[in-house]
Amino acid sequence: MKKFLVIVVIFLVIGGGVGAYFFLKDKKEEERLEDIKNGWYVEVLADEVNIRAKGSANGTILGKAKKGDIYAVNDVDVAGNTFWYEIDYDGTPAFIFSSTKYNYLNDVNNPNDIATPTIKFYEPIYYVDSIDDINYDHLEVWDDKDGAEVTHQVYHETGVDINGRTIDQYWIKYTVTDKAGKSASKVQKIEFNKRPSEDEVLDFKDLER
């Protein structure tokens, strides 16, 4: 009986030690992540993203970042709307990719507005009752910083096409501008139930695409 109690005590001590080890390890990791979140960091949104030795698709793969992983950012190399983030990876500088088209990462606490905003719509024609009812609910607007603003202009196209058919249609040009002054535009066909007056629209010939 005494031998059995000694064995039980030994297992309890060992189990307690293992439990304490994992508790302290989790606590240390939690503190590390909180420290990272006080600065500039990226959080992985995709299921898996390559971590490379240099900021290039040809860079040697050092590992895989998983969804939810968080990495401190040292710098970012911007080319249009593609981004190579230099991160801390096991104490070594490494690189991880994202872009506005393939949004693999959530960029948090970035001190600079690095990206040009984008506009997306998913229908070729925007149907609306009148020019006063135009809104941006059907648009998907993205920027790396809050505060991008959308404006629009409506253009009236008239004339005759190459087949002799009469042209009488409207186009809407959306422009999104961020706080750093960078902007992007996109044009969509628009149809009204109540046609706007000519002083409410611009000539299609003046539309810059």
Residue 80 confidence (pLDDT) = 83
Residue 21 confidence (pLDDT) = 44
Residue 10 confidence (pLDDT) = 61
CATH topology of domain 118-206: Immunoglobulin-like (2.60.40)
Residue 132 confidence (pLDDT) = 97
CA–CA dist 89, 207 (Å, integer): 48
C-alpha distances in angstroms, 25 versus 6, 11, 18, 148? Answer: 29, 21, 11, 42
Residue 81 confidence (pLDDT) = 85
CATH 2.60.40 domain extents, the chain: 118-206
The answer to whether 121 and 134 have CB atoms below 8 angstroms apart is no
Q: What is the pLDDT along the chain (209 residues), one digit of tens a residue?
A: 666 565 655 655 565 555 554 455 566 767 777 888 889 999 999 999 999 999 999 999 999 999 999 999 999 999 888 999 999 888 889 999 999 888 899 898 988 888 889 999 999 999 999 999 999 999 999 888 889 999 999 999 999 999 999 999 999 999 999 998 999 999 999 999 999 999 999 999 999 86
CATH 2.30.30.40 domain extents, the chain: 41-108
Residue 65 confidence (pLDDT) = 95
Residue 173 confidence (pLDDT) = 98
Residue 134 confidence (pLDDT) = 98
Which CATH number is 41-108 given?
2.30.30.40
Residue 24 confidence (pLDDT) = 54
